[in-house]
Amino acid sequence: MKTLNKAINVIECFLGLSTKESMTLSELAKASGLDKSTVNRIAAAWVKRGYLKQLEKRGKYSLGTKYFDFSGLIKRRSKIRDIAMPHLLVLAQVSKESVIFCILDGQYAAYNEIIPCEFPLKIVPDEGTRVPLYSTGVGKILLAGMTEQEIDNYINNTKLESSTVNTITHPDLLRAHIAIIAGEEVAFDTEEFYMGVSNVAAGVRNADGKTVAAVGILGPSVRLTRNRMVEMVPHIKKCASDISRDLGY
């Protein structure tokens, strides 16, 4: 079990990556808390099985393509995605922007489905990519669906780092912001996580009334302006409401 936990610790180091996609042996050792020789053996085993890749000998490590097999399997078995897909396609036709569908994954929002827009300039994250809850539209709408205790636990246990000048990093300001989102049932992200990228989202509820997913549009700020996002709010809310209805809400 100790060996298994060490192997998992190494692979989970890649979950927290946001601005880069690869890590050196030293970085893996520091992030996992293991010595370099142990990490070297574990990483070599992961590379051999396809879970990690190393383009050059003694080069950096990155996630391998093996995860696509699991991603496809999970998507095929994902009931909520199957239910949401027809409504997401309608939103894509109306908005003409990239439509995203996210689920809560621990302390992050994970992209479960992306429908790219047809513009040459577009924002299309990889499926499975995880983004912070406090600095993205999809993440903030998921936060707004939590109980006060859950929100406090999240804020108290999360380092609110500034990604851009627009990121909310003060705990009290974030709590107040989340309360407004809960009342309006829509969340905006105007270059809070990435400069030049905007996002607006609404929450999807299950039969118990719990927010289980977020749906929205994502695009470059030069096209997806604040006014444009406001115009799209009724359509995004309708999409979220239709999915929620089909889930039994």
pLDDT reported for residue 229: 96
Q: Tell me the longest C-alpha to C-alpha distance in the chain.
A: 56
How many Cα atoms are found within 13 Å in the side-chain-facing hemisphere of 135?
Answer: 23
Closest CA to 154 of 142, 165, 162, 166: 142
- Does 134 score more than 80 pLDDT? yes
CATH number for the segment(s) 69-246:
3.30.450.40
User: Can you name the CATH fold of 2-64?
Assistant: Arc Repressor Mutant, subunit A (1.10.10)
Q: Where are the domains of the chain?
A: 2-64, 69-246
Cα separation of 187 and 173, whole Å? 15
The proportion of the chain whose per-residue pLDDT surpasses 90, expressed as a percent, equals: 59
Q: Are strands 130-132 and 211-220 parallel, antiparallel or unpaired?
A: unpaired
Query: Tens of pLDDT along 18-32?
Result: 545 788 888 889 888
Domains 2-64 and 69-246 fall in the same CATH topology: no
pLDDT reported for residue 19: 47
pLDDT reported for residue 75: 57
Quote the pTM value. 0.72
Query: Tens of pLDDT along 72-109?
Result: 556 555 678 889 999 999 999 999 999 999 998 888 99
How many Cα atoms are found within 13 Å in the side-chain-facing hemisphere of 162?
Answer: 6
55 φ/ψ angles, rounded to the nearest 5 degrees: -65, -35
- Does 117 score more than 80 pLDDT? yes
Containing 91, the helix (H) or strand (E) segment is: helix 79-95
pLDDT reported for residue 60: 87
